[in-house]
């Protein structure tokens, strides 16, 4: 029979995980769906939870993780700052969302059985969510910030500042003549070339 203290501790761990999950940026990295190793770890965790009388909490944790994933994608599933376009698009497709939900489910399962399962099982269940957490803070691939961040960071001299101003003016000029989409494309290409040239200059190649 489960003890009140042990189940309360498991629930507290689950709540802490759900709070951490709310800060994970699901638009940055794509994770793989569960493979045979992860499915086996899920089964071992479920068996441990059932033996300790935590089967209901185990299922609640998985359901809460799935719901949290859906809310996270609903909050941040679209970006309007992607290079070479002026529309909002979703970074992750349906399979990516299902894989992220599975990862969070596994982490929630690990939280419930942390004091019951072996270390190998817990490590497997937590690994994919850890990958997502480590990627939080990276700019989405294709975002203007990803293209310009390195270039702007190294823009310190007067000539470099003048070059950056010219890039902005060029993008504005082209956008005024050919439209916003073409203007953004020109801006992205010029910045990418400038960043590559700057990197080569900095490394002496």
Weakest-pLDDT range from 1-5, 23-27, 121-125, 136-140: 136-140
| Maximum separation of any 2 CA atoms in the chain, in Å | 74
Position 190 pLDDT exceeds 90: no
pLDDT digits (tens, 9 = 90+) for 141-159: 444 444 445 444 444 556 5
- Are 59 and 172 spatial neighbours (Cβ–Cβ below 8 Å)? no
Would you say 48 and 113 are in contact if contact means Cβ atoms under 8 Å apart?
Answer: yes
Name every residue whose Cβ is closer than 8 Å to that of residue 191 and which is 6 or more positions away in sequence: 147, 148, 151, 167
pTM for the predicted model, two decimal places: 0.60
Nearest residue to 34 via CA among 119, 107, 112: 107
Q: How confident is the model at residue 23 (pLDDT cuts 50, 70, 90)?
A: confident
Residue 196 pLDDT exceeds 90: no
Q: How many CA atoms lie within 13 A of 20 on its CB side?
A: 16
For residues 108 and 83, give the distance between their C-alpha atoms in angstroms, rounded to a whole number. 36
Alpha-helical runs (H) found in the chain: 4-21, 36-51, 55-76, 94-112, 119-135, 144-153, 158-178, 180-203
pLDDT digits (tens, 9 = 90+) for 71-122: 877 765 544 444 444 444 445 577 888 888 999 999 999 999 999 999 999 9
Cβ contact 82:140 at 8 Å:
yes
């Amino acid at each position: 029979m489960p003890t009140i203290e042990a189940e309360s501790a498991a629930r507290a761990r689950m709540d802490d995980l759900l709070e951490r999950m709310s800060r994970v940026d699901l638009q940055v990295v794509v994770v793989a769906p569960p493979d045979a190793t992860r499915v086996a770890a899920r089964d071992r965790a479920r068996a441990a939870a059932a033996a300790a009388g935590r089967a209901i909490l185990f299922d609640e944790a998985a359901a809460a993780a799935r719901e949290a994933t859906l809310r996270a994608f609903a909050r941040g599933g679209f970006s309007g700052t992607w290079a070479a376009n002026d529309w909002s698009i979703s970074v992750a497709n349906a399979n990516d969302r299902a894989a992220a939900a599975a990862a969070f489910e596994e982490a929630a399962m690990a939280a419930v059985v942390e004091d019951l399962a072996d270390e190998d099982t817990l490590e497997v269940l937590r690994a994919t969510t850890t990958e997502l957490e480590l990627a939080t803070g990276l700019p989405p691939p294709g975002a203007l910030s990803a293209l310009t961040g390195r270039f702007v960071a190294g823009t310190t001299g007067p000539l470099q500042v003048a070059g950056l101003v010219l890039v902005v003016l060029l993008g504005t000029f082209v956008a005024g003549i050919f439209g916003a989409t073409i203007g953004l494309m020109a801006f992205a290409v010029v910045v990418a070339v400038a960043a590559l040239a700057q990197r080569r200059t900095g490394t002496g190649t």
